[in-house]
Amino acid sequence: MDRVFTARLLAIACLCQACNSADLTDFERFALSFATLRPPPAAPTNRFANDARAAALGQKLFFDERFSPARPVPSRGPGATASVACATCHDPLYGERDDALRARAGSDARYQLREELGCENAPTLRNAAFSTWFGWAGQSDALWVHAARAAESGAELASTREVIARVLFDFYRAEYEAIFGALAEPSGADAEALTRVLTNFGKAIEAYVRKLTDTGAPFDRWYAGDKKAMSASAVRGAKLFVGRASCGECHRGALMSDSRFHDLGLGTDEYTPRGRVEGLALARANPFNTKSAFSDAASASPLTSATTSPRETYALRTPGLRNLSRTAPYFRDGSAATLWDVLVFYREAAGSRGFPGRTDPAFQPLRLSDDDLSDLVAFLEALDGDPLPEALVTPPVLP
């Protein structure tokens, strides 16, 4: 058994050697191999996850402001309101490098509204298809589950399943029925039927969001053998990342997240859920989680093997690290304005903030020079993906 594993390791190491990625030790090459791009994992709890019709419908739902009641925007003056859609806070262009494309699609107006709503640090959904848990505390156990919860969450769409069903019935009935089957007149529908419609709304949106995945970054090209794709500084940063800076302790695996929860001492009691303990409790209590009758594969639910402990009261999910250049500010609380600020925080392991939890043992002060921090920033910037296809990020024509 052990010998088979060692042989596999060697085989992978040799393969990687063949594909170059200059100057790396076998360990560095091996550790970084997990971060290279691959297709997102299957999503068995949503049988529409790869359905093209569901994705096309999902894109419209994502941009449609009719699902949400207008909300006050005090910064625009007394009584001023604005309508929002998922795209208001999770602009799919956010994370793009192509400014012309952003401007053309009017994303700057949406960006401004994000600031006015105080949600400028809403996470990008680009590459969300790679995650197992959703929300900083992992309060949702699938993308469709979070999308359905987001529809009713006061901090997100602030709608109701009655309104979701009404707008679908009035504007999307034929499209919905072609995918999910008959859609009843909402005013006569029972609670279960309304929840079914809400979860189908989430499943269509997941099908769309799954398409917002990266196709490449300088790091991937460099790893595949293009020596010029990354600067010497970024190469030094890559070595530091999996070496002395020990970022890879937590940021490993696809897109550089271990899909686990860690406490960096940034927690406060102001958030709901505060961290993993409450997040997992919410995921379990949710009547439409991946184990419920609304799931298409309850046996594949990540809840089955999930555990937590009081140590994780303030622990948050390790985020992936692609497209950071366009997703400032950083951390859940947005307390780091730049990548440099993030790295200074890590260097000092600024745990002495009197916060009530216990920090992760892998989170320790680091002996890094300013030059090291610059190299790490250069490496993180080399993880920015190519622009997404224009058709996916442009607001679609709504019925």
Choices 16-24, 131-139, 284-292, 381-389 (CB under 6 A): range interacting with ligand HEC = 131-139
Out of 89, 165, 234, 280, the only residue in the binding site for ligand HEC (CB under 6 A) is 89
Tell which positions 193-212 bind ligand HEC, by CB under 6 A. 205
Q: How far is the CB of 232 from ligand HEC (least distance, A)?
A: 18
Residue 346 engages ligand HEC in binding (rule: CB under 6 A): yes
3-state secondary structure the chain: CHHHHHHHHHHHHHHHHHCCCCCCCHHHHHHHHCCCCCCCCCCCCCCCCCCHHHHHHHHHHHHCHHHCCCEECHHHCCCCEECCCHHHHCCCCCCCCCHHHHHHCCHHHHHHHHHHHCCCCCCCCCCHHHCCCECCCCCECCHHHHHHHHHHCCCCCCCCHHHHHHHHHHHCHHHHHHHHCCCCCHHHCCHHHHHHHHHHHHHHHHHHHCCCCCCCCHHHHHHCCCHHHCCHHHHHHHHHHHCCCCHHHCCCCHHHCCCCEECCCCCCCCCCCCCHHHHHHHHHHCCCCCCCCCCCCHHHCHHHHCCCCHHHCCCEECCCCCCHHHCCCECCCCCECCHHHHHHHHHHCCCCCCCCCCCCCCCCCCCCCHHHHHHHHHHHHCCCCCCCCHHHHCCCCCC
Taking the complex as a whole, the smallest distance from the CB of residue 9 to ligand HEC amounts, in Å, to 23
Closest CA to 131 of 276, 297, 260: 260
Q: Which segment (30-38, 146-154, 170-178, 220-228) binds ligand HEC by CB under 6 A?
A: 146-154
Least spacing, CB of residue 316 vs ligand HEC, in Å: 5
Check binding of 94 to ligand HEC (CB under 6 A): no
Report, in Å, the least distance between residue 84 CB and ligand HEC. 5
Contact status: 46 vs ligand HEC (CB under 6 A): no
**13 vs 56, which CB is nearer to ligand HEC?**
56
Instruction: Rule CB under 6 A: choose which of 184, 363, 374, 387 binds ligand HEC.
Output: 363
Residue from 93, 143, 204, 378 binding ligand HEC (CB under 6 A): 143
Given a contact cutoff of 8 angstroms between Cβ atoms, the answer to whether 238 and 227 are in contact is: no
Q: Is 135 in the site for ligand HEC (CB under 6 A)?
A: yes
**Is there binding between residue 360 and ligand HEC (CB under 6 A)?**
yes
Binding segment toward ligand HEC, per CB under 6 A, in 13-21, 72-80, 190-198, 358-366: 358-366
| Member of 40, 95, 275, 319 binding ligand HEC (CB under 6 A) | 319
362 scored as a contact of ligand HEC (CB under 6 A): yes
Residue 296 binds to ligand HEC (criterion: CB under 6 A): no
Sign of CA dihedral 218, 222, 227, 231: positive
Would you count residue 49 as binding ligand HEC (CB under 6 A)? no
Site for ligand HEC in 246-265 (CB under 6 A): 246-247, 249-251, 262, 264
Burial zone of 183 (CB within 10 Å; 0-12 exposed, 13-18 middle, 19+ buried): buried
Q: Does 316 bind ligand HEC (CB under 6 A)?
A: yes
> CA–CA separation, 254 vs 273, rounded Å?
25
Window contacting ligand HEC (CB under 6 A); options: 17-25, 182-190, 287-295, 325-333: 325-333
Question: Is 283 one of the binding residues for ligand HEC (CB under 6 A)?
Answer: no
Contact characters 155-174, ligand HEC, x per CB under 6 A:
xxx-----------------
Positions touching ligand HEC (CB under 6 A) are 84, 86, 88-90, 117, 119, 122-123, 125, 128, 131, 134-136, 143, 146-147, 150-151, 155-157, 205, 245-247, 249-251, 262, 264, 266, 316, 318-319, 321, 324, 327, 330-332, 342-343, 346, 360, 362-363, 376
